[in-house]
Amino acid sequence: MPVRLLRASAQRSSPKIRRGAGRPTREEAVQRHTELLDKALELFLERGFEMATIDAIAASVGMTKRTVYARYKDKTALFKASVERAIERWIVPIETLRAVESHDLQATLMAVGRILVGNALSPAGQRLMRVINVESYRFPDIAKLTFERGSKRTIAFLADLLRRFIKTGAIKVASPEGAAVIFLTMVVGGPSRAIMWGQPADKATIEERTSLCVQLFLNGIRPR
């Protein structure tokens, strides 16, 4: 039989090699890590930092404690990592806010306000805020991280927006950063506190309050 036919025959008869149940692929490892952080945050919120154990967290995702400790030296490190992931998933990208900018400051502030309020009142936003409110006394750096990754960037965006309208003479503001903080507190702070106090508002009420906050804010910074 010609050599060429022998090779072809051998290739046809050779069994296909399948990947066994050994080391996971990179994609699988990333997915498992994500599951670990999400479940850890869920248990920290449900049970509190003290009562949530590495054993329970590992069992909830079908991992061994050894696997968890290979990534995180202790429960504190796992807690901070889970909160950091939640913050990164929750924050509104500045590109999203820039996308709603227009030459009309009132319309822009309303659009930005809707985005920020919707994000703050989302299940992920409320879950993150509860964790931070409960555990920030123990881990003050997580509150700082939330500000640095989220509010600080939003304030910088709003301040830059106000500066552009200051240059046109449409508004008069001595401190754009200070005004940005006030706007954020007015628009987002009220609805967030209402939920914490057990008084959530419907969409129509939130829209009405957002509109009122924007009007009050603009009335305070327009030239007289």
Tell me the domains of the chain and their CATH numbers: 25-82 (1.10.10.60), 91-221 (1.10.357.10)
Report the 10 Å Cβ neighbour count for 201: 16
Residue range 60-103, pLDDT digits in tens: 999 999 999 999 999 999 999 999 998 888 889 999 999 999 99
In whole angstroms, give the CA distance from residue 85 to residue 39: 12
**Is pLDDT above 60 for 12?**
no
Q: How many whole angstroms separate alpha carbon 94 and alpha carbon 149? A: 11
Among residues 53, 33, 35, the alpha carbon closest in space to that of 43 is found at 53
Least confident of 86-90, 156-160, 185-189, 214-218: 86-90
pLDDT at residue number 203 = 87
Tokens of 21: 């149940």
Structure confidence at residue 22 (pLDDT): 58
Higher pLDDT, 178 or 14: 178
For residue 214, pLDDT beyond 80: yes
- What local confidence, expressed as pLDDT, does residue 4 receive? 46
Task: Identify the residue with better confidence: 209 or 123.
Answer: 209
pLDDT of residue 45: 87
Return the pLDDT at 30: 84
Handedness of CA 122, 124, 128, 134 (dihedral sign): positive
How far is the C-alpha of 213 from the C-alpha of 193, rounded, in Å? 15
Share of the chain above pLDDT 90, in %: 56
Is it the case that residue 172 has pLDDT exceeding 60?
Answer: yes
Tokens standing for residue 181 = 């903080």
Cα separation, 138 vs 128, in Å, equals 15
pLDDT of amino acid 149: 84
The reported pTM is 0.77
Residue 211, SS3 per DSSP: helix
pLDDT mean over 51-64: 93
